[in-house]
Amino acid sequence: MAEHEHVRVAVVGSGFGGLGAAVRLRREGVTDFVVLERAGSVGGTWRDNSYPGCACDVPSHLYSFSFAPHPDWPRSFSGQEHIRAYLEHVTDTFGLRPHLRFDSEVKRMVWDTERLWWEIETGNGTLTADVVVSATGPLSEPRVPDIPGLDTFPGKVFHSARWDHDHDLRGQRVAVVGTGASAIQIVPAIQPLVSRLTLFQRTPPWVLPRMDRAISGAERALHRALPFTTRLRRGLLWGVRELQVQAFTKHPGELGLVEQLARRNMARAVKDPALRAKLTPDYRIGCKRILLSSTYYPAIVRPNVDVVAGGLSEVRGSTVVAADGTEAEADVIVFGTGFHVTDMPIAERVVGAEGRTLAETWTGGMEALRGASAAGFPNWMTLIGPNTGLGNSSMILMIESQLNYLADYLRQLDLLGGRVALDARRSAVRVWNHRVQQRMKHTVWNTGGCTSWYLDANGRNTTVWPGTTGEFRRATRRVDLSEYAVLRAPAKKTTAPHENTEVAA
């Protein structure tokens, strides 16, 4: 490799994960790092998802960093623009700008078995790094199904995460495909504008009311004057959600009561029994993500909305056709069809010690030690990796746990000294994932009678954490060196990968 830049740590992505990692690195005294971001600004999820109605399903005071509390959240559940502004504010407050490299999409990362570093090719040049923190996001690569005839559609087509704000929907006939978390926020936001809205529903979601409200000036003043009240509020929000976890993971039967609430939420707005039947899921609540909305059902009973019980199966010119043969005319198709999750796109771009990509290593399903480290990919750590997702709480809690793990990982490397790397032992990865999958057997995600994006192509749940966030916090407090092989570059320059010495930890 010709003359190139070398850093101690390369962070990939500048959403909550990447920015959190950057703050933590600085706090640990590591300043020799860069944050590589393919876009032109920070924010990740909350930059890319700007569709009408986009908002968080977790209360604001919990969906934020514990180290950057925000007493001035204007609503109990934040909208996209407030979360995006919060992340810009975090970037400035913690002095992260000098580390950011925008328009630097990581195309390929290759582990150099001789020098024990990562060679990283970006859209903006090449660099090397001792450690890579991959924070490319679990929901950052839009998934658009392969619909026959889509190329014949003369109108506008876009995905919820790539909203075309230049296209005016007023008076248009819009087909919305999907009824997941994004779609049920989009529908009530655009229904009053459009002439006709056809909603393609493959599987109905369970929907609970959204207890959103403005946070009063007095509450905000209190939080500003007495910062511990912000922490208290966060603690209460966290505690309630921790108590719910058992029902999801061990006793799905207990969710029956929640199901009743969801049924009542629907019955309040949907008076037509035939439509209610169409909208009622046939699986246990919680199996798919429980959605929160107080405006979804009132919107779909409006006269300009048709709910088609079936996915979009074909497009013939401006005619959109459902799986049950129902046809409608459309000027715009909006795909609210989610993201590539269990086939994490970055995995195709990471080449490990054995010359194989992470995607090739994961053909049987994603797995990583403590949601972070994959065997054969030394000094490469992913944030929100396999089995770190949550069904009912804030992902920021999980990210912060992984940042503890990252900080200890770097400390361990320092203590070992010299040019050194840690490679997760296959046996440790196996044991960790066996435990996770054993616990998964009893969860509502696996037993609730649905197929969801939590499950991979083999039907294995490789996305959700089957425990409390407290358990995950404890499991990631420290790096257990016995779970890693310690790789050292030989004192003399060598040429072959097998010449790395593995030192028992």
Ligand X SMILES: Cc1cc2nc3c(=O)[nH]c(=O)nc-3n(C[C@H](O)[C@H](O)[C@H](O)COP(=O)(O)OP(=O)(O)OC[C@H]3O[C@@H](n4cnc5c(N)ncnc54)[C@H](O)[C@@H]3O)c2cc1C
Q: Is 346 in the site for ligand X (CB under 6 A)?
A: yes
Of 66, 46, 87, nearest to 399 (Cα)?
66
Cα four-point dihedral sign 273, 278, 279, 280? positive
Q: Is 59 in the site for ligand X (CB under 6 A)?
A: no
Q: Is 182 in the site for ligand X (CB under 6 A)?
A: yes
Q: Is 402 in the site for ligand X (CB under 6 A)?
A: no
Phi, psi torsion values for 378, nearest 5 degrees: -60, 145
What is the C-alpha separation between 131 and 422, in angstroms, rounded? 10
CB atoms within 10 A of CB 433: 20
**Residue ranges of E strands in 222-370:** 291-292, 305-309, 312-316, 319-322, 327-329, 332-335, 350-351
Query: Tokens representing 250?
Result: 């061990």
Smallest separation, CB 188 to ligand X (Å): 15
Smallest separation, CB 180 to ligand X (Å): 9
Smallest separation, CB 191 to ligand X (Å): 19
Smallest separation, CB 14 to ligand X (Å): 5
Q: Which is nearer to ligand X, 16 or 117 (CB)?
A: 16
Smallest separation, CB 97 to ligand X (Å): 15
Of 430, 455, 431, 458, nearest to 443 (Cα)?
455
Q: Is 57 in the site for ligand X (CB under 6 A)?
A: yes
Q: How is 134-167 classified by DSSP, letter by letter?
A: E---TT-SB-----TTGGG--SEEEEGGG--TTS
Residue of 105, 164, 242, 306 interacting with ligand X (CB under 6 A): 105
CB 167 within 8 A of CB 332: yes
Binding pattern for the stretch 302-341 against ligand X, x by CB under 6 A and - elsewhere: ----------------------------------------
CB 14 within 8 A of CB 42: yes
Q: Is 286 in the site for ligand X (CB under 6 A)?
A: no
What is the C-alpha separation between 300 and 306, in angstroms, rounded? 7
Of 384, 387, 425, nearest to 401 (Cα)?
384
Q: Is 452 in the site for ligand X (CB under 6 A)?
A: no
Burial class (CB in 10 A: 0-12, 13-18, 19+), 445: buried
What is the C-alpha separation between 71 and 295, in angstroms, rounded? 27
Name the segment binding ligand X (CB under 6 A); options: 136-144, 218-226, 251-259, 261-269.
136-144
Smallest separation, CB 353 to ligand X (Å): 21
**H or E element that contains 267:** helix 256-269
Binding pattern for the stretch 351-390 against ligand X, x by CB under 6 A and - elsewhere: --------------------------------xx------
CB 262 within 8 A of CB 284: no
Binding pattern for the stretch 2-41 against ligand X, x by CB under 6 A and - elsewhere: ----------xxxxxxx-----------------xxxx--
Smallest separation, CB 395 to ligand X (Å): 3
Q: Which is nearer to ligand X, 46 or 117 (CB)?
A: 46
Name the segment binding ligand X (CB under 6 A); options: 54-62, 113-121, 215-223, 275-283.
54-62
What is the C-alpha separation between 71 and 226, in angstroms, rounded? 9
Binding pattern for the stretch 235-274 against ligand X, x by CB under 6 A and - elsewhere: ----------------------------------------
Q: What residues numbered 403-432 form the site for ligand X, per CB under 6 A?
A: none
Smallest separation, CB 277 to ligand X (Å): 28
Q: What residues numbered 456-475 form the site for ligand X, per CB under 6 A?
A: none
Name the segment binding ligand X (CB under 6 A); options: 50-58, 195-203, 218-226, 315-323.
50-58
Smallest separation, CB 31 to ligand X (Å): 21
SS3 call for 293: coil
Q: Is 136 in the site for ligand X (CB under 6 A)?
A: yes
CA 346 from centre of chain:
13
Residue of 58, 147, 290, 406 interacting with ligand X (CB under 6 A): 58
State the chain's maximal CA–CA distance in angstroms.
78
Q: Which is nearer to ligand X, 346 or 455 (CB)?
A: 346
Query: Tokens representing 378?
Result: 């030394």
| Residues lying near ligand X in the complex (CB under 6 A) | 12-18, 36-39, 44-45, 49, 54, 56-58, 63, 105-106, 135-140, 181-182, 346, 383-384, 394-395
